[in-house]
Structure 1
Amino acid sequence: MSSSSSLSLKFVVLFSLSLAGAASLTTGATATFLFPRKPRTKASYTLSPTTRPKATVSDLLSLLGPPPQAESVNSQVARDLRSCFKFLVPYNQTVPARRSLRSKLSLSRNRSGKEIDELILSPPAPVLELARLAVDSGADPGAIHRTLDPTIIPVPDVEGSNEDRCELTRTPYGRRFVNEGLNSYLEFLFEIIVERGPSVGLHVSLSRYDFFHGHLFLAKESGRLGILFHAKEYPAYDKELFPCNMGYCQVGSNVPYDDSMNLRNILWLAPLPSSSSNAWLAPGVLVVLDAHPEGIIFQDLIPEYVNFARTLYEEDFGEVVLDVNYLNVGAEAPKFQIFIC
C-alpha cells in the first residue's frame, strides 16, 4: 500500500457467491487473460530417484486431517509436503476438549498469543456451527449460501480502483453472513495472517494489490470447510523480474515480484466434525503453503502454465462456495468489514 501510514484506513469485507459454471478467478476480473484456467496436463518434471507417487491436493488435506487420513498418505509424499508447511499457529493433531470447542473468546485486538492459537484450533461457536453444517449437508454450497444476509451491498471504490477501471470482485455487489460472529471471524483471519506472516517470511499488506481475498470451499470427500487465501495478487510490472501485463488492477502496484511469491497461498481449515456423531475429528489449521521451485507443492500441485505466479487453484481443494473480500474503502477511522461476492 503506497499511502502514508498517517492516513487512517477503513476496510470492508465482501463475499461473492460462486455460481455454477462461473470461472474461478485467481488474478482478478481484469487479469483473466493472463493466467486462464486450463485443462491439466502431465507434469514435465522428473520424479525423484525413489520414484515417489505424484502428490495431490487430497494428500495435502489428508495430512492436515485426522490421524487415520494422515497415515494413509505415502510416507515420502507426506515428508515432502510437510517440509512445505509453514504454520502460523502451532499445528496439533489432537482434538481440543469439548469445552474448548465451545470457545467464546473475544475477537478484540487485545489478544494474547495463546488466545490467537485457541481461536484457530477451536473457533467460536458460529464458526463451528458453519463447519458442522458443511459436513451435515453433504458439502452442499446452498446450505452455506442460505446463511447469508439477502441484503445486496454494492462493491465500493477501493483505493482508487474505479478511476483505474479495476474490478476486484467477481460481481459488482456482495453480501455478508447473517451472523456477525462469522463476519468478525473472517476479519480476524485476514488480520492474523498479516500479523503472523513475517514469522514465516510472509510480508503482506491489506491492499488491493496485495492481500484482499480468499476462496471459501468445501473439501472434496470430507466436506471440510476451508478458505484458500491468495496474497501478492498484483505484482508491479517489471520488464526483467515480472514482465506480465495483468490489466487495470495492476496499475500503480508497488508489490515486488520476489521470493515472497512462493508464500502467496495461505490455507485455513475449520475443525472437522464427524459425519456420524457429535465428535470433532481434527482441530482448525492456519498454514502458509511454500511453493518454492524445489518443493513438492511447486512441482506437483502448481500447474505449469501458472507456476510463474505460484498459484494454487481453489477448485482443486473442493467445491468453491463464495469469495471472501477484505476491502479498503477509506475512512477517518480504521474499520474492517467483509464482502462476500
Structure 2
Amino acid sequence: MKSSLPLRFTFLLSLSFAASYTVYSYSPPFSSRLKLPSDSKATAFDLLSILGTPQQAAAIDPKVANELRSCFKFLVPFSPSQQQQTPLPSSMSSDHRRRRLADVNDLIWRPPPSVLELARLAMDTGGDPDSIHRTLDPIYITVPDAEKCQENHCELTRTPYGRRFIDEELNSYVKFLFETIADLGSSVGFHVSLNRFDLFHGHMFIATESRRLGILFHAKEYPMYDKKVFPHYMGYCQIGSNVVYDDSMNLRNILWLAPLPSETSSDWLAPGVLVILDAHQDGIIYRDIIPQYVQYARTIYEDDFGEVVVDVNYLNVGVIKPDYQLFIC
C-alpha cells in the first residue's frame, strides 16, 4: 500500500543536512521556571520534562519520573547515544533494514532544516501559534471524501477545508511521521493502520513552559461498537469500523517532539523524540494524566501539553487506489 520510507523521503536524507546540525549542548535552559512537585501526582509538564534535557528531567520528583519512564515505548531510541535494534519488516535484507533504521532514527533526532526552523520559530516568538500559522499556504483546499466517510455523514476534520505548509519539505516530514508510526509500531507490539478509523490525525502544539514544538497523534480513533467490549456510540464516523477495542488501546497516544532549541544561543539542547505513551490501567499516565471521564478511550488531550496550533490530518482520498494527502486545519 505504501512505498518504503527511504524511497518516499529520499530527498530529506541528503548529507548536506549534516552541516546544519549542532552538537546537543545540555545547559539548563529553564531552570528558573522548573520546580519540584509537592506530591507524586504526574502532569503533562512532568512528562515533557523527562523527554527534555537532563536538567529538566532531574527537576521532576524521582518517583514520578521513574513511573513515567516505565510507560514510554520509544519507536526511535531516546537519543543518539542510546542506539538499539528495532525490528523492521523481515522481507528486507539485513543490510537494508539497518540502513533504513539509521535513516529513520536520524530524521527523528535531527530533522531537516525546515523543521528545525519551525521549532526555532516557536521558541523565538515566545510560543506564539500565529508564528506557525504564518508558515501555512494561504490557499484553502476542500477536504474530499476519505474512504467513503461522506456516505455516513462523517466529518473527519475540524473544518471542511485544509491548508498545507508553504515549504513542501515540512509537508513531507509530517507525512513521514504518520508513515513511520504505522511502520514501526509493531516493533513495540502496536499494530496500527493508516485509515479513517485508526491513525489519521494529530494535534500540533507548543509546550507551555519550554516552548518546544510537538505533535500528539491519536490512533485507534473510532473503535468498533460492541455491546460487551466497547458499548460506546461515537457518532457517524464510527459506522463501519473494524478497529477492535483491546489492550492496544493503551498505546493510542503517540508523541513527537521536535529538537529543543536554546533560548540564548543557536545550540540544540535535546534531540527529537518519537514515543508511544503507554496508558495501561496500572500505570501513572492512566491514573494521573488521562481525565477520568475518558479513561475508557485512553485519550491524552493535546492542550494539556500546551497551546494547540493546528490539527494535521493524513487522509486516504483515493477512489481506485490509495492516495494519502495532508490537510492542516
Structure 2 length as normaliser, TM-score?
Answer: 0.82
Amino acid at match of 1:138: G
- Is 1:192 matched up with 2:180? yes
Report the structure, 1 or 2, having the larger helix content.
2
Amino acid at match of 1:143: S
Hey, what does 2:229 align to over in structure 1?
241
Kindly report which structure 2 residues correspond to 1:74-223, keeping only aligned pairs within 5 A, or say none. Answer: 74-92=61-79, 112-223=100-211
Write the deviation string for residues 192-220 of structure 1: whole angstroms up to 9, x where unpaired.
Answer: 00000011111111110111000000001
Structure 1 length as normaliser, TM-score?
Answer: 0.79
Return closer, same or farther for 1:252/1:240 CA change in 2, 3 Å cut-off. same
Return closer, same or farther for 1:266/1:177 CA change in 2, 3 Å cut-off. same
Q: CA deviation at 1:331?
A: 4.5
- Is 1:63 matched up with 2:80? no
Hey, what does 1:255 align to over in structure 2?
243
Return closer, same or farther for 1:336/1:308 CA change in 2, 3 Å cut-off. same
Q: CA deviation at 1:335?
A: 3.9
Amino acid at match of 2:173: Y
Structure 1: which 5+ residue stretches go unaligned? 7-50, 96-108
Amino acid at match of 2:78: Y
Hey, what does 1:317 align to over in structure 2?
305
Mean Cα displacement is larger for which, 57-66 or 324-333? 324-333
Amino acid at match of 1:78: A
- 1:336 and 1:308 map into 2 onto residues whose CA distance is 30
Hey, what does 1:37 align to over in structure 2?
none
1:93–1:282 CA contact under 8 A, matched in 2: no
Hey, what does 1:265 align to over in structure 2?
253
1:66–1:93 CA contact under 8 A, matched in 2: no
- SS of 1:187 mapped into structure 2: helix
- 1:136 and 1:52 map into 2 onto residues whose CA distance is 33
Q: CA deviation at 1:330?
A: 1.2
Hey, what does 1:17 align to over in structure 2?
none
Kindly report which structure 2 residues correspond to 1:295-310, keeping only aligned pairs within 5 A, or say none. Answer: 295-310=283-298
Q: CA deviation at 1:93?
A: 7.5
Amino acid at match of 1:75: P
Structure 2: which 5+ residue stretches go unaligned? 3-37, 83-96
Write the deviation string for residues 83-121 of structure 1: whole angstroms up to 9, x where unpaired.
Answer: 0000000112769xxxxxxxxxxxxx9961101000000
Write the deviation string for residues 61-88 of structure 1: whole angstroms up to 9, x where unpaired.
Answer: 0000011001101111000000000000
- 2:81 and 2:136 map into 1 onto residues whose CA distance is 32
- SS of 1:308 mapped into structure 2: helix
2:208–2:305 CA contact under 8 A, matched in 1: yes
- 1:55 and 1:237 map into 2 onto residues whose CA distance is 32
- 2:303 and 2:137 map into 1 onto residues whose CA distance is 24
1:137–1:143 CA contact under 8 A, matched in 2: yes
Amino acid at match of 1:286: L
- 1:82 and 1:93 map into 2 onto residues whose CA distance is 18
- Is 1:54 matched up with 2:41? yes
Q: CA deviation at 1:275?
A: 1.0
Return closer, same or farther for 1:94/1:66 CA change in 2, 3 Å cut-off. farther
Amino acid at match of 2:219: A
Amino acid at match of 1:163: E
1:94–1:282 CA contact under 8 A, matched in 2: no
- 1:134 and 1:203 map into 2 onto residues whose CA distance is 32
- SS of 2:149 mapped into structure 1: coil
Structure showing greater relative contact order (alpha-carbon pairs closer than 8 Å, 6 or more residues apart): 1
Question: Percent of pairs identical after alignment?
Answer: 66
